[in-house]
Amino acid sequence: MKSKFRQIYYDMRHQPVIAWVTFLATALSVFLIMVVVMMQQIKIVPFAPESCRDRLLVGPYMCVEGQDFMSSGGMSYVTARQLYDGLDGVERTGYFSYWTDDVQVYAPKGSNMISRIRRKADAGFFEVFDFTLLEGRYFTAAEAEAMVPLAVISESTARNTLGSAPWTGRDIIIDNIIYTVVGVVRDVSTLALTAHGDVFIPVGPSDTADDWHEIMGSTAAAMVVADGVDFQHVRDQVKARYSQLDAQIAASGMRTNYFGSPFDQETLASGMCGSNNPPDTESPRKMRLMIYAILFLVPAINLSSMLHSRLRRRISEIGVRRAFGCTRSRIIGDIITENFIVTLAGGIVGVTLGVIFAATYSGLYENDANIGRGETPAFSALLHWSTIVAALIVCFILNIISASIPAWQASRMDVVDALNSK
């Protein structure tokens, strides 16, 4: 092993460009793969207020078809409860507006008007998602059903509109309607795809402003599935309720199209679950595999070419070793081992760069500059030990792909030609 380190040191001194490019190319490849993995992980790992992501199912849409139309979108509040209330295996269920809207928020006696993201929600919504309540309370089920003008707002919204605490019990104006603030929660990161919002106001059965076709509206359902319950068990129940709903609306010439709702976090994060078509999770997976393949093969091809150039300067050495009885397999093994040491060192640098990136790059947790950053996934969740192991496996694979052919070609050289080369 000592001789291999000497050979690596010799190459780095006498072929610095090729040696360093090989080292840095490996580091960059591993770093980029780690970034791609982290960008995917950040969409699916649990973190407050979506700490239930591994057990979360969301029914965001529905699709209704008539004789001369097809309409897709959210559900009315009544329809959502008909489809998702009291499902077996579900611990908690909440109803909310899946689509958010921007509203102007200001205090009655204040002059600071700010734009904020509003989301309608019932009391169950705050049971599904674990917001950090800083002051006050959430509105109750009765208050949400009656749509009492109450609001739960984020900390940054409270500070920008009401000034210093205490904030609860004070009024704010949203869309020219006065709401009383009953609770203040920690800012919610935009990474929380389902729970994100700055202003939460009640929704109930009397909220029919966005309803159409009798059963559609702007309401979605979120539910936490009990431990050990298969997601498909829940979906089968929802599919049966869609059939019951079809029987009710058949007289009006309408029927629903069921597309596999409710969806898990991976499907939601893929952005490929539309309201009028089945979810497509395969396309994002194929795209990620294609990216991984490019990050594997392009560096491997370049590294293979560079190794071939390095070995051209070692032809005489290889010829001498072959003349003194060194076997072809020994030649191949030594070259692959030397290349693996360089690749592993580059991989360690790449992993280090990935750790620094995750710890310092705020764009990974990007949020509106005017809104508090909110809670984000734990550092350990993004850089799990399995990610480190995967990075080392990448080093091994890169080594095998890039070194095998040049090593085999070097071992097949004619001894006489190798000794006569310059």
Assess whether 89 and 224 both reside in one domain.
yes
Average pLDDT rounded to a whole number, residues 139-167 = 94
Is residue 245 included in any domain, yes or no?
yes
Assess whether 70 and 22 both reside in one domain.
no
pLDDT of residue 271: 73
Is residue 267 included in any domain, yes or no?
no
Instruction: Please give the residue that has the higher pLDDT: either 52 or 377.
Output: 52
Instruction: Please give the residue that has the higher pLDDT: either 168 or 17.
Output: 168
Closest CA relative to residue 155, chosen from 147, 163, 146:
163
Picking from 262, 297, 312, the residue at the C-terminal end of a domain is: 262
Cβ-Cβ contacts under 8 Å for 257 (sequence gap 6 or more): 63, 64, 65, 70, 276
Predicted confidence band of residue 94 (pLDDT cuts 50, 70, 90): very high
pLDDT digit string, tens, across residues 252-283: 889 999 998 999 998 888 876 666 666 766 67
Q: How many CA atoms lie within 13 A of 297 on its CB side?
A: 6
What pairs with residue 200 in β-bridges?
119, 152
| Residue-range definition of the domain harbouring residue 89 | 61-262
Predicted confidence band of residue 368 (pLDDT cuts 50, 70, 90): very low
pLDDT digit string, tens, across residues 202-230: 999 988 888 888 899 999 999 999 999 99
Assess whether 89 and 196 both reside in one domain.
yes
**pTM over 0.85, yes/no:** no
Is residue 33 included in any domain, yes or no?
yes
Assess whether 355 and 213 both reside in one domain.
no
Assess whether 42 and 98 both reside in one domain.
no
Is residue 276 included in any domain, yes or no?
no
Assess whether 201 and 165 both reside in one domain.
yes
pLDDT of residue 51: 92
Picking from 262, 295, 330, the residue at the C-terminal end of a domain is: 262
Q: Please give the single-letter amino acid code of residue 357.
A: F
Assess whether 241 and 380 both reside in one domain.
no
Assess whether 301 and 227 both reside in one domain.
no
Is residue 277 included in any domain, yes or no?
no
pLDDT of residue 371: 44
Is residue 335 included in any domain, yes or no?
yes
Domain count, the chain: 2
Assess whether 42 and 65 both reside in one domain.
no
Assess whether 228 and 306 both reside in one domain.
no
Is residue 387 included in any domain, yes or no?
yes
Which pairs count as long-range contacts for 234-242, CB under 8 Å and 24+ apart, including other chains? 234/57, 234/87, 234/88, 234/89, 234/90, 234/262, 235/260, 235/261, 235/262, 237/87, 237/88, 238/59, 238/83, 238/84, 238/87, 238/262, 241/82, 241/83, 241/84, 242/83
CB 342 within 8 A of CB 8: yes
Please give the Cα distance from 358 to 268 (Å, whole number).
Answer: 23
pLDDT of residue 202: 96
Assess whether 114 and 152 both reside in one domain.
yes
Q: Please give the single-letter amino acid code of residue 360.
A: T
pLDDT of residue 54: 94
Is residue 185 included in any domain, yes or no?
yes
Q: Please give the single-letter amino acid code of residue 198.
A: D
pLDDT of residue 11: 58
Write down the mean pLDDT value for the chain. 82
Assess whether 287 and 413 both reside in one domain.
yes
Please give the Cα distance from 374 to 155 (Å, whole number).
Answer: 9
